[in-house]
């Protein structure tokens, strides 16, 4: 049978490559007619559209994206994620160049939308018996639902492009070799926002609030509304409303919304987030076990998840991120002192204060879990600290210890990653577990809502209510946030996002949209030198692990040079 190959775009090639995780030997022997007309293959194509959802475990050359932010340092010096940290990336070489990946994904969706109505259901349609008519009706409904799932996924893939590149071409047909693409231009940022919002609204109107267990992981009404809320949050934030950083750029509409009422934009974002929170029929709820959100084989079923990518069973993430003190461990992403210092001290049930190395009572026991200097419990659920118990033994991250400096590939920062890493895996016996990457969860939406509400209606009681929900979940029980000015509450919410969502892939984009990236991502990344002075007694000294670089031009990625060579009329992003 003929293998059918098409162009992808903007313009590159693909066959039904959304089916790449199906049986390739079978798929490559199918005709175009088979793929489009047979129900089971169309169902597989619909499922395969999900394969391009972000997989954060190895997002940038083997590293989680947190290693390009102030959250972590990647141990392996030769990983290309280091290029972000030293500012050595450009339009020709970008370690996170996802342009072709997401336009391929978008083309897969477009192709599916153009062909999914070609499924031949005549065997059921022409049979008048009630059972066959029921199958016919159900399959029509399934195909209709798959199309709205596809539109949601296309909107998601566009958001991944827009947050990196600004305005991009909106393409809603599957381009082929014979198509004239020379007239394709970048849409404005606002046009992209409106397109994503419209697609989310359309999908939300047709998708269910919840699926049966067999279909968990598919796009829901809540996922569509949450993506809408997220893009509206970005559309209200500083970066997309402040083109002055790129003074003189001839196409500001590619990097900023049109001038408008910022309060109205914040209100739209808050209303959209609240629509997710109050959506009936979802059973969304904060998990009562923060740690298990990220490691258990059934974590993807947790009621806190709104959209999650479920991967198969493996142990590759553990191989990459276990300490070198464990067999086959390679240290991988090591949390920064910048992040560790952000976890507060819980003085008592009503008071939390910042951790401060200059306070002798703090410095004497920086990882206290009880008493008046006890740290936020999320620190120990996200980060492995010195002398804590992990995999059945005390972690020796002090210089000369099993996990410390002096060993090849030991942590540069004095910490190891805990979130997402399954400590129950035995690499020597090759045990595995299911890994799920969270894309949108309820705590994130609560913090979107609080942030947007604080910007247009400071003092509203829901701000404290929803931030406190996150801080006071079962097993965390941090004190509620204090009263404060709009600016103080803004900083509290930003801090809460830092510690609650650590390592989940949000920090890089939060700092950009808040226009804090030059100050924060351009500051030194810090770690701690640990010296053992007696058994179970240590001294700690903070030091600079690495001087980082972030210039304003890095707010947006450059359009890949390969695309500009094909599209010479396009304007490169500012300052590149």
Run of H or E residues at 438: strand 433-441
pLDDT at 26: 41
Residue 6's pLDDT is 30
In this predicted model, what pLDDT tens digit does every residue of 252-309 receive, in sequence order? 999 999 999 999 999 999 999 999 999 999 999 999 999 999 997 777 789 999 999 9
Task: Work out the number of other CB atoms within 10 angstroms of the CB of residue 495.
Answer: 15
Cα–Cα distance between 409 and 543 in angstroms, integer?
A: 18
pTM: 0.94
Q: Hey, how many other C-beta atoms are within 10 angstroms of the C-beta on 115? A: 17
**Which pLDDT score, from 0 to 100, does residue 300 have?**
79
- Interval 122-141: pLDDT, tens: 999 999 999 999 999 999 99
**Tens of pLDDT, residues 463-490:** 999 999 999 999 999 999 999 999 999 9
Residues 6+ apart with CB under 8 A from 417: 72, 321, 332, 333, 334, 335, 382, 383, 384, 503
Q: How far is CA 321 from CA 76, 315, 416, in A?
A: 11, 10, 8
The residues facing 503 across adjacent strands are none
Of 317, 332, 329, nearest to 55 by C-alpha is 317
CA–CA separation, 277 vs 16, rounded Å? 36
| Cα first-last separation, the chain | 47
CA 36, 227, 170, 6 dihedral sign is negative
**HSE on the CB side for 183, CA within 13 Å?**
3
Q: Provide the pLDDT for residue 29.
A: 66
Compute and round to an integer the Cα radius of gyration of the chain.
25
SS (H, E, C) 283-298: CCCCCCCCHHHCCCCC
The pLDDT of residue 405 is 96
Q: Find the DSSP H helices in 278-373.
A: 316-321, 337-340, 360-364
- Give me the residues of the chain with pLDDT under 70, please: 1-29
């Amino acid at each position: 049978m003929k293998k059918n190959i098409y162009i992808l775009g903007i313009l590159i090639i693909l066959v039904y490559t959304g089916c790449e995780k199906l049986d390739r030997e079978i798929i490559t022997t199918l005709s175009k007619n088979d793929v489009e007309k047979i129900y089971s293959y169309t169902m597989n194509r619909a499922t395969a559209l999900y394969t391009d959802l972000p997989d954060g475990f190895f997002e940038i050359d083997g590293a989680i994206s947190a290693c390009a932010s102030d959250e972590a340092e990647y141990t392996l010096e030769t990983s290309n994620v280091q290029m972000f940290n030293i500012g050595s990336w450009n339009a020709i070489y970008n370690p996170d160049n996802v342009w072709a990946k997401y336009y391929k994904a978008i083309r897969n969706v477009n192709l599916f939308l153009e062909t999914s109505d070609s499924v031949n259901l005549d065997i059921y349609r022409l049979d008048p018996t009630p059972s066959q008519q029921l199958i016919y009706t159900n399959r029509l409904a399934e195909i209709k639902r798959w199309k709205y799932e596809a539109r949601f996924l296309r909107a998601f893939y566009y958001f991944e492009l827009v947050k990196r590149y600004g305005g991009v071409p909106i393409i809603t047909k599957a381009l082929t070799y014979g198509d004239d693409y020379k007239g394709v231009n970048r849409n404005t940022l606002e046009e992209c926002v409106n397109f994503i919002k419209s697609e989310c609204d359309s999908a939300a109107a047709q998708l269910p609030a919840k699926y049966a267990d067999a279909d968990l992981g598919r796009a829901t009404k809540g996922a569509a509304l949450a993506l809408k809320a997220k893009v509206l949050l970005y559309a209200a934030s500083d970066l997309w409303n402040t083109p002055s950083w790129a003074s003189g750029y001839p196409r500001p509409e590619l990097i900023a919304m049109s001038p408008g009422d910022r309060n109205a934009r914040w209100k739209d974002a808050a209303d959209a987030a609240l629509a997710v929170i109050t959506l009936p029929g979802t059973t969304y709820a904060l998990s009562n076990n923060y740690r298990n959100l990220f490691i258990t084989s059934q974590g993807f079923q947790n009621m806190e998840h709104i959209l999650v990518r479920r991967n198969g069973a493996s142990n590759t993430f553990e191989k990459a991120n276990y300490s070198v003190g464990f067999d086959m461990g390679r240290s991988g992403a090591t949390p920064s002192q910048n992040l560790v210092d952000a976890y507060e001290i819980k003085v008592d049930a009503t008071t939390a204060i910042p951790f401060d190395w200059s306070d002798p009572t703090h410095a004497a026991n920086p990882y206290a879990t009880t008493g008046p200097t006890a740290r936020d419990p999320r620190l120990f659920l996200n980060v492995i600290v010195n002398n804590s118990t992990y995999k059945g033994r005390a972690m020796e991250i002090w210089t000369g210890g099993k996990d410390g400096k002096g060993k090849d590939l030991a942590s540069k920062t004095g910490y190891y990653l805990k979130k997402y890493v399954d400590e129950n895996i035995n690499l020597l016996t090759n045990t595995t577990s299911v890994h799920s990457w969270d894309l949108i969860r309820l705590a994130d939406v609560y913090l979107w809502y609080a942030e947007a509400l604080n910007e247009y209606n400071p003092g509203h009681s829901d701000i404290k209510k929803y931030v406190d929900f996150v801080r006071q979940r079962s097993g965390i029980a941090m004190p509620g946030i204090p009263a404060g000015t709009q600016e103080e509450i803004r900083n509290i919410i930003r801090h809460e996002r830092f510690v609650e969502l650590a390592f989940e892939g949000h920090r890089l984009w939060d700092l950009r949209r808040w226009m804090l990236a030059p100050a924060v991502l351009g500051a030194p990344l810090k770690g701690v030198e640990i010296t053992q002075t007696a058994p179970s007694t240590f001294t700690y000294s903070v030091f600079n692990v690495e001087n980082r670089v972030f210039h304003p031009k890095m707010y947006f990625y450059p359009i890949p040079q390969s695309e500009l060579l094909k599209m010479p009329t396009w304007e490169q992003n500012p300052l590149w």
